[in-house]
Structure 1
Amino acid sequence: MPFVIGDDDTLHHPEFHEAGTALASLILACRRSLWLRVPSLDNLTADRVVCDALKRLGLSSERVDIRIQYDSQDDAIRNGHRLIHLARRLPSRIQLRQSQDDDRDGQLCFAIGDNTGLFEASGWPRPARLDLCAHRLPRAPRLARQFQEQWERAFHSTELRELRL
């Protein structure tokens, strides 16, 4: 479902099994920024199409702003995670932060592209529905403000750092 951020205000409702592809399409449409909020570093953020899209966006410009905020990292640390490896290879482009305890919400799952495009999967990993819109969805500005406020309070996890000997 290709679209251009800022041009198309059609609201799409992808199927659950298309969540990774839908998120990747938003990422690929971004030019300046992507803010991603997920409950945990799980299969959605480890999906190959999502990580490939993040890599492409990260390499597209030295000024791109990619921020990923998550609540839980336990499975990712225990089992390894494609996104963690990518963030380690592109540390100046991809920022990962863990939510502080007061901001954790297992129902929040959304991405905001270039301050107007929105992917939302409230209730992840079992969302009632998925929303994808390239422009002017009324929830996008509210979620962007919420993301920014929580991002300021979030912290870098020491467990995700790579120990080089």
Structure 2
Amino acid sequence: MDDDLEVLEKTEHRLGESGDDILIDTSEENQKLILELVAQTSKTIDIFTRDMAARIYDNSKFITAIRNLVVGNNKIKVRILIIDPDKSIKNGHRIVELARRLSSSIEIRHVHIDNRSDAQSFLIADGHGILHRKLASRYEATVNFNNRQFCRERLTYFNEVWERSQPVLDFKRLHI
């Protein structure tokens, strides 16, 4: 949790308060701002992704932040919709093992076939903050710590896809 406090001390962005768009374009900036969002989350993290972009999500700081979040509060839920789970499974993505061990708090579903051509990627924190990449294959993103309307729009879409998507059973069976 000390790392979470360190992230909070270094940021001027406050979840639910800071409403300015932040434009970023590197994997490092994506990592940093995702950590800021996760560190300030108190209820939900919702991720829509093509393949759990390894340069953004498969690092010890992100995995530790998610682990600390859900272990510290069993009411927090992390939902991940992934278009291509095979790549994460094959490459031994750390979120796979974490989701397997913390399955009551972290759930991963394979995006329904009707939505697999969606090019975007996003992470929503508590329905207030969002990191949104129009093209999941690129690092250009818009981040906002208090854009409830856009979060609501993306969450409506996320929930519709979530209801039609199936759990990724391979994640639960693998012992990576």
Structure 2: state its 5+ residue gaps.
Answer: 1-9
The answer as to whether partners of 2:83 and 2:116 remain within 8 angstroms in 1 is yes
Q: Runs of 4 or more off by more than 4 Å in structure 1? A: none
Task: Identify the residue that residue 118 of structure 1 maps to in structure 2.
Answer: 130
User: Shift of residue 98 of structure 1?
Assistant: 0.8
User: Shift of residue 62 of structure 1?
Assistant: 1.0
Match of 1:145 among 135, 138, 156: 156
Structure 1: state its 5+ residue gaps.
Answer: none
Letter in 1 for 2:77: D
CA gap 1:5/1:97 in 2 versus in 1, 3 angstroms = same
1:85-164 residue pairs with structure 2 within 5 A?
Answer: 85-127=97-139, 129-136=140-147, 138-162=149-173
What is the distance in 2 between the residues matched to 1:102 and 1:118? 24
What is the distance in 2 between the residues matched to 1:16 and 1:106? 21
Task: Identify the residue that residue 25 of structure 2 maps to in structure 1.
Answer: 15
The answer as to whether partners of 2:99 and 2:171 remain within 8 angstroms in 1 is no
User: Shift of residue 82 of structure 1?
Assistant: 0.4
Aligned alpha-carbon RMSD (Å): 1.7
What is the distance in 1 between the residues matched to 2:31 and 2:39? 12
What is the distance in 1 between the residues matched to 2:33 and 2:25? 9
Task: Identify the residue that residue 15 of structure 2 maps to in structure 1.
Answer: 5
Once the two structures are aligned, what percentage of the paired residues are identical? Answer: 21
Which stretch has the larger CA shift, 155-164 or 78-87?
A: 155-164
1:47-58 residue pairs with structure 2 within 5 A?
Answer: 47-58=59-70
Letter in 1 for 2:68: R
